[in-house]
A and B are shown apart, each in its own frame.
Chain A
Amino acid sequence: MLHQLEGSRAIAKAVALCRPNLICAYPITPQTHIVEELGEIVRSGELQNCEYLNVESEMAAISATIGSQAAGVRSYTATSSQGLLHMVEAVYNASGLDLPIVMTIGNRAIGSPINIWNDHSDAMAVRDAGWIMLFAESNQEAVNLHIQAFRIAETVKCPVMVCVDGFILTHAFERVNIPDQKEVDEFLPTYKQHITMDPVTPLAIGAMVPPEYFMEVRYMAHLKQQKSISVIEQVRDKFSDKFGGNSSGLFHKYNAQDVETIVVTMGSVAGTIRDVVDDINCKHGNKFGVLTLISYRPFPQDAIREILKSAKKVFVVEKAFAVGIGGILAQEIKLSLLRTNVPVISIIAGLGGKPITKSMLFDCLLENHQRDTKFLGLNDGLVKKKCSFAGDCCTNN
């Protein structure tokens, strides 16, 4: 059914349709409206058989979901930014214990300086934690991904993080199709616990693992990520069969066949980039395509290579970077294109909510870049004024 809804409220409705048994709530902007709405859904009785726990920190939020999921019930929480970093230790723990928790990240910058606006620095800080990480481009996709996330998590026995751009999606009112409870029930089977805390069959969970076995355990986590690539596709197909429409999967390709230049990106900026690419193609002939990654972890490296390897140039537009090195996604794309001659230009954009406009992108994508990394919209004057050693080593442009 179509609703005109704020992104957070739409996500909350999608999560409630998945019938979690425990929801942990701790406020942090811009995620807060999600858990607020879920609280209302639980208290009003719309969602039955669900505990709603107001906890004292993000660390407690993720930890309580670890406990409840280990004890055999479907569990959910949401956070952003500093909150995600506050729970990092437990983020690793949840995947290490094979617990299929689903968590929403309302993506936001990391301080200092403190900043509440959107970028992907928070998610990127936990990219190696062994979670499946899916990035939504729109609120409809966020709804679809959350419903798929529970099924993916429970199939692979791995936690899933659904990343949704803070404010740009979480606070945007859009028309969103929210499926019926009956349809979701048919799509998402009742959770069957694979581990349990049962006095009749006692099990010790969370043992110390010595050097003889530790590397093997981590390697198995790697294998699990690789296996989940096909699971994400299968779940996407089943979701499409049930609900129709363009139902995500590993990535979206837009005009990415036989073009000279492909722009790779993640999240809500993809729509702007598609518009820009349309404008460029209109003016300069059909030269540009877009690859929007949904599944960042697992990283579908082989498929990415297949799509990009015949391009003459690849741009990676991303909302995070590794200080001292440059783009994070760009490095991984470069790795995927090893032993090809495709140059990869890294565009760092929109950090801490800096606007990414069509005209900025239009100029940037047509520019003849002298350097591999460009910070889009950077105020060079301000940097030179405030940074005594900026001088000639200012790498932008």
Chain B
Amino acid sequence: MSYSTRKKTSTDNANCVQSRTDRRNTLMSGHRACQGCGEALAARCVLDAAYNATNGNIVVVNATGCLEVFSCVYPENAWNIPWLHSLFANAPSVASGVASAMRVSGKTKIRVIAQGGDGATTDIGMGALSGMFDRNDDVLYVCYDNQAYMNTGVQRSSSTPPLARTATTLPIGSYMGNDAKTGKNLPKIAIAHNIPYVATASIAHLFDLEQKVATAIGIRGSRYIHVHVPCPLGWGIQPSDTIKIARLAVDCGLFPLFEAKDGVVRTSFTISNIVPVEEYLKPQRRFAHLFGKNAAPNVIAHMQKLADENIKEYQLMGENTHG
């Protein structure tokens, strides 16, 4: 089958919630995130879009992690919306409880969003998330995926890409970093739960991200958005390159952008100029051991294969090439 495709247009940026002076700034300035933090940017964009789409009727449950730690250290608080942090592993369950409370008290206009990093989502809280999906509880769950445990100093998570260097996958001797055949594809796992809406998004494509949030927030039941967010500290990139690296991840095919409804992928975001994976990997210190004097062309070929498979599976090439 072929998906419908979405391409970036010249008017997209002008229509962004982020480009408007009346945006809510759900996550206000003054928080303690690192310079160039992809997660902070994504969280504000996602929640501003949700705020905009619901006339301000959102409440947010946050898992423990960078986002929670940098945004709300007593007596300071950067959130401009109702916000509840309980624990690392239980954000989906807490959000299910909040959604039940809203339903039972007749406040059905208020939409519940749960959010967490990849550790909270793909590892420690995955059982809770699966339970929430299974019950189809009325929650939009957003994962900000920076591909490792950044808050504790860059350790491997099940979302860490193959061959990446983290504090617990240091490339030493013949060990080339994170094992090549490990890791979870959480968007696919979410789709397998047959929930009404699953999407992937990137902070490099803001309009697409905002559109997906606006779509998701209007649907009842469990919804999942997986946002790719570079981490300058953990990935070893310049803070000024966060968006550039995010865009390269999409453009090389390693992070495909798509939407799935009711268990089936329906839409993908086509890439105008596909780039080789090296262009994405090379600027990042976490992949530096794959280049230079210990270059490992065979493992880079493995990464290219993963990207190629995505390009084929999600039909990421221009519309003309679809069959």
> Which residues does A use to contact B, with CB under 8 Å?
21-22, 24, 49-51, 53-57, 59-61, 63-73, 75, 89-90, 93, 97, 196-199, 202-210, 213
Contacts and interface: CB of A to CB of B under 8 A. Distances in A.
* Chain B interface residue number, banded: 35 or more
A246 B276 CA distance: 79
B85 A207 contact: yes
A328 B171 CA distance: 49
A216 to B, nearest CB: 11
Interface centre among A55, A63, A89 (most CB of B within 10 A): A63
Given A197-B98, A199-B57, A56 B86 contact: no
B82 A90 contact: no
B249 to A, nearest CB: 30
A6 B87 CA distance: 36
B306 interface: no
Contacts of B95: 67
B90 A59 contact: yes
Interface in B60-95: 61-62, 68-69, 72-75, 77, 79-87, 89-90, 92-95
Interface string B95-132: 11111111111000010000000000000000110110
B72 A198 contact: no
A202 B80 contact: yes
B97 A66 contact: yes
Closest 4 CB pairs of A and B: A67-B97, A56-B131, A206-B85, A64-B97
Given A21-B105, A68-B97, A197-B98, A60 B84 contact: no
A241 B86 CA distance: 39
A55 B58 contact: no
B317 interface: no
Interface string B27-63: 0000000000000000000000000000011110110
A73 B57 contact: no
B86 A93 contact: yes
Nearest to A198: B82
A360 B84 CA distance: 52
Nearest to B82: A197
Nearest to B76: A207
Interface of B: 56-59, 61-62, 68-69, 72-75, 77, 79-87, 89-90, 92-105, 110, 127-128, 130-131, 134-135
A63 B57 contact: no
21 contacts: A49-B104, A51-B100, A54-B135, A56-B131, A56-B134, A64-B100, A67-B93, A67-B95, A67-B99, A71-B105, A73-B104, A89-B89, A199-B58, A199-B110, A202-B82, A203-B83, A204-B82, A204-B83, A206-B62, A208-B69, A213-B74
A63 B94 contact: yes
Nearest to B62: A206
Contacts of A54: 135
A387 B73 CA distance: 52
Which of A21, A64, A97 counts the most chain B CB atoms within 10 A?
A64
Contacts of A60: 90, 92-93, 96, 127-128, 131
A198 B86 CA distance: 17
Contacts of B61: 67
A63 B93 contact: yes
B111 to A, nearest CB: 10
